[in-house]
């Protein structure tokens, strides 16, 4: 960001964006983008209550507190693994295995949405960004469809996959993960449907936020190009194993690569990336930090 703003013409570009008048009358788009943020995390807290329902009945307030604590802890760790810790220390210490299993399932469900939608738009994304075309569009669609079906099957059959791995792979680390996954046997198909449905709703929200922010910045592209680029960005971001506070740089470079290929200035891409990062991660993480400071860590670690 320093390089883009100082060492290049970034400051001039940012000033041009601000003075261009493209924001006139569009502030409601930014406001709507901000309003969607609490709805996003309220949905995540509802999903958390459902995920923990086979083990523990949580109040709405308790679920939201746990989720925000997880956001704060996850933003400092690679691939947001700290989210597990944040949720662990704000939940009953006797529920360690259940919390890890529920967090894992929720993460898999959300990543399934990121990957499935990204694959669905991948033909147009690859064509826009890398000028990759395929002579057999039908064959490409069939392959993508098979991949999506396999991902959905994997989601609904995680315990079976764990049993299979345990049978053929003898490893202490694998066995630890398998124990967590096999505890998901307690989840009914109906509950898995609900978890996946709310994950789809959450994807729709942060997808809409990105779209609203791009429209707020005055981007005028055909809807298919915007949709494919946004879904492609989320697909790639799913595989970036960086802490939340560092992933902003990788996301920024990714956004520049994607949007510059369709004629969008790099500074516009950075503004959208940084704005969404600030709204969706930093603001809730600040609340989560307050929750963590008020948490009795000693009680958790001394619990037997």
Measured CA to CA in angstroms, residue 130 lies from 109, 126, 186 at distances of: 29, 5, 44
| 245-273 exposure pattern, b = at least 16 Cβ within 10 A, e = fewer | eebbeebbebbbebbeeeebbbbbbbbbb
**107 occurs within a structural domain:** yes
* Whether the Cβ atoms of residue 145 and residue 235 lie closer than 8 Å to each other: no
The pLDDT of residue 259 is above 70: yes
Among 36-40, 121-125, 126-130, 297-301, where is mean pLDDT lowest? 297-301
pLDDT band at 169, cuts 50/70/90?
Answer: low
pLDDT band at 51, cuts 50/70/90?
Answer: very high
Query: Can you tell me the mean pLDDT for 165-175?
Result: 63
- The per-residue pLDDT for range 184-230, each reduced to its tens digit, is 777 888 999 999 999 999 999 999 999 999 988 888 888 889 999 99
Q: Quick one: 52 exposed, middle or buried, by C-beta within 10 A (0-12, 13-18, 19+)?
A: buried
Give the Cα separation of 267 and 9 in Å (integer). Answer: 9
Query: Can you tell me the mean pLDDT for 49-54?
Result: 92
Give the Cα separation of 132 and 5 in Å (integer). Answer: 32
Residue recorded with tokens 């505890």: 183
**258 occurs within a structural domain:** yes
- 248 or 86, which is more confident: 86
Query: Can you tell me the mean pLDDT for 60-80?
Result: 85
Paired tokens of 62: 């308790």
The pLDDT of residue 18 is above 80: no
Q: Among 169, 259, 165, 263, which Cα is nearest to 213's? A: 259
Give the Cα separation of 259 and 240 in Å (integer). Answer: 18
**123 occurs within a structural domain:** yes
The predicted structure's pLDDT at residue 244 = 54
The predicted structure's pLDDT at residue 228 = 92
**18 occurs within a structural domain:** no
The predicted structure's pLDDT at residue 123 = 81
Query: Can you tell me the mean pLDDT for 278-300?
Result: 84
Domain that holds residue 187: 25-295
Residue recorded with tokens 């005055």: 218
pLDDT band at 273, cuts 50/70/90?
Answer: confident
Residue recorded with tokens 């883009």: 4
**254 occurs within a structural domain:** yes
- 202 or 182, which is more confident: 202
**302 occurs within a structural domain:** no
**19 occurs within a structural domain:** no
Give the Cα separation of 223 and 220 in Å (integer). Answer: 9
**Would you give the DSSP letter of residue 217?**
T
- The per-residue pLDDT for range 118-143, each reduced to its tens digit, is 988 888 888 777 766 666 667 778 88
Give the Cα separation of 258 and 279 in Å (integer). Answer: 21
Among 35-39, 196-200, 252-256, 295-299, where is mean pLDDT lowest? 295-299
Paired tokens of 39: 């709805």
Query: Can you tell me the mean pLDDT for 74-95?
Result: 79
Q: Which residues, in sequence order, are CB contacts of 68 under 8 Å at separation 6+? A: 41, 284, 285, 287, 288, 291
The tally of domains found in the chain comes to: 1
- The per-residue pLDDT for range 136-163, each reduced to its tens digit, is 667 778 888 899 999 999 999 887 777 7
Neighbours of 174 (CB within 10 A): 14
Give the Cα separation of 259 and 244 in Å (integer). Answer: 22
**2 occurs within a structural domain:** no
User: Structure pTM?
Assistant: 0.85
Give the Cα separation of 268 and 209 in Å (integer). Answer: 15
The predicted structure's pLDDT at residue 296 = 73
Give the Cα separation of 135 and 150 in Å (integer). Answer: 24
């Amino acid at each position: 960001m320093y390089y883009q703003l100082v060492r290049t013409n970034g400051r001039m570009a940012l000033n041009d964006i601000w003075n261009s008048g493209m924001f006139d009358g569009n502030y409601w788009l930014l406001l709507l983008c901000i309003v969607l943020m609490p709805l996003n995390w309220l949905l995540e807290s509802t999903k958390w209550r459902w995920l923990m329902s086979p083990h523990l009945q949580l109040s709405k307030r308790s679920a939201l507190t746990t989720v925000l604590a997880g956001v704060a802890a996850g933003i400092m760790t690679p691939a947001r693994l700290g989210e597990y810790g944040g949720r662990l220390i704000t939940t009953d210490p006797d529920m360690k295995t259940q919390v890890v299993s529920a967090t894992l399932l929720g993460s898999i469900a959300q990543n399934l949405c990121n990957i499935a939608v990204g694959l669905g738009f991948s033909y147009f994304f690859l064509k826009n960004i890398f000028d990759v075309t395929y002579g057999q569009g039908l064959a490409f669609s069939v392959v993508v469809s098979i991949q999506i079906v396999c991902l959905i099957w994997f989601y609904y059959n995680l315990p079976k996959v764990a049993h299979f791995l345990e049978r053929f792979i003898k490893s202490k680390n694998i066995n630890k993960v398998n124990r967590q996954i096999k505890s998901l046997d307690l989840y009914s198909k109906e509950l898995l449907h609900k978890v996946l449905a709310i994950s789809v709703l959450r994807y729709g929200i942060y997808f809409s936020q990105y779209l609203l922010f791009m429209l707020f910045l005055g981007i005028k592209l055909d809807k298919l190009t915007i949709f494919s680029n946004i879904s492609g960005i989320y697909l790639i971001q799913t595989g970036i194993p960086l802490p939340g506070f560092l992933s902003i740089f990788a996301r920024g470079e990714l956004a520049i690569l994607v949007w510059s290929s369709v004629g969008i200035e790099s500074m516009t891409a950075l503004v959208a990336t940084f704005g969404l990062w600030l709204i969706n991660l930093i603001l809730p993480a600040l609340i989560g930090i307050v929750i963590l400071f008020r948490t009795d860590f000693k009680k958790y670690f001394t619990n037997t």
